[in-house]
Amino acid sequence: MTIKDRRSIRHYSADVVSEELLNSIIDEAQRASNTGNMQTYSVIITRDEAQKKLLAPAHFNQPMVTSAPIVLTICADFHRFSRWCEERCAIPGFDNIQSFVGASIDAMLLAQNIATIAEREGLGICFLGTTTYNALQIIETLHLPRLVMPLTTITMGYPASMPEQPDRIPVSGIIHNETYREYTSAEINALYEQKEARDDSKKFIEENNKETLAQVFTDVRYPKSASDFFSVEFIKALRRQGFIAEEQ
Ligand SMILES: Cc1cc2nc3c(=O)[nH]c(=O)nc-3n(C[C@H](O)[C@H](O)[C@H](O)COP(=O)(O)O)c2cc1C
């Protein structure tokens, strides 16, 4: 499948994804560019049913966590590299936000490579954003040590069916030449009109008793109160994992 044809897959067949295929996907994916070639990431593979059940509540019991053959938790990881430094008479200084952000960028580049290669191999994937909502629970369940933060989760398996492909805004909407140019109201209208005209969008508005599609996002799917709450939780997790000093 090419990137143009791809879509997230949330229903998987019972076909087994071999260990050999999964290892080869991750091996190829780790060719991604990464900061200083330090490879500050780790992938936790969950195949065990009992372990998936333990992880599921952290993902608000999204069904893919238990129905997918494979669940990958992608982590920013300065633990392994710091261990190497310590064993080689080098004093690591990676217990800070700058290091966390760098490791996060590298981990997400790895994650996207894993997704793209898996799709090329005929597998289906879905990212789960709930990983950063309930990072503390995931840290406990996966026994993540200091300087390891879970960032995203990818569920993976052979697709049971092909859902319709979701829309994207026109590419002109995301491009700015030379400097950022503010959008006029007319441009905003033009960029989002196709999305708003879709039948599934209209259904979404009706089901949620809202007046506009944007309100479904701000009031139902991503309300400020929830984002604020989970931001505080995430900072607690960063502190616990040593990326923010105790006194900060
Ligand atoms: C960081 C991230 C978090 C996501 N979290 C979820 C999620 O928790 N549950 C879900 O069903 N899909 C999740 N998705 C998938 C998106 O909903 C999906 O990519 C988007 O709607 C576009 O659909 P497409 O991938 O089929 O083009 C996530 C995607 C990303 C990149």
Using the predicted structure, report yes or no on whether residue 248 has a pLDDT greater than 90.
Answer: no
Instruction: List pLDDT tens digits, range 172-222.
Output: 999 999 999 999 999 999 999 999 999 999 999 999 999 999 999 999 999
* CATH code assigned at 11: 3.40.109.10
- Asked if residue 34 is part of any domain, the answer here is yes
pTM of the model: 0.97
Ligand 1 proximity of 126 Cβ (cutoff 6 Å): yes
Q: What percent of the chain has pLDDT over 70?
A: 100
Residues 6+ away with beta carbon under 8 Å from 218: 224
Domain, as residue range, for 39: 3-164+235-240
CA 125 / ligand 1 centre spacing (Å): 10
Position in ligand 1 atom list of the atom nearest CA 163: 26
Is there a single domain that holds both residue 102 and residue 194?
A: no
Count how many domains the chain has: 2
Is there a single domain that holds both residue 74 and residue 102?
A: yes
Ligand 1 proximity of 112 Cβ (cutoff 6 Å): no
Position in ligand 1 atom list of the atom nearest CA 8: 26
In 3-state terms, what secondary structure has residue 43?
Answer: strand
Is there a single domain that holds both residue 198 and residue 80?
A: no
How high is the pLDDT of residue 224? 98
CA 177 / ligand 1 centre spacing (Å): 28
Is there a single domain that holds both residue 152 and residue 123?
A: yes
Instruction: List pLDDT tens digits, range 121-168.
Output: 999 999 999 999 999 999 999 999 999 999 999 999 999 999 999 999
CA distance to 110, 203, 214, per residue, from 145 (Å): 20, 44, 39
Q: What single string gives the DSSP state of each residue in 172-219?
A: GGG--SSS--PPPHHHHHHHHHHHHHSHHHHHHHHHTT-SSHHHIIII
- Asked if residue 186 is part of any domain, the answer here is yes
Is there a single domain that holds both residue 65 and residue 93?
A: yes
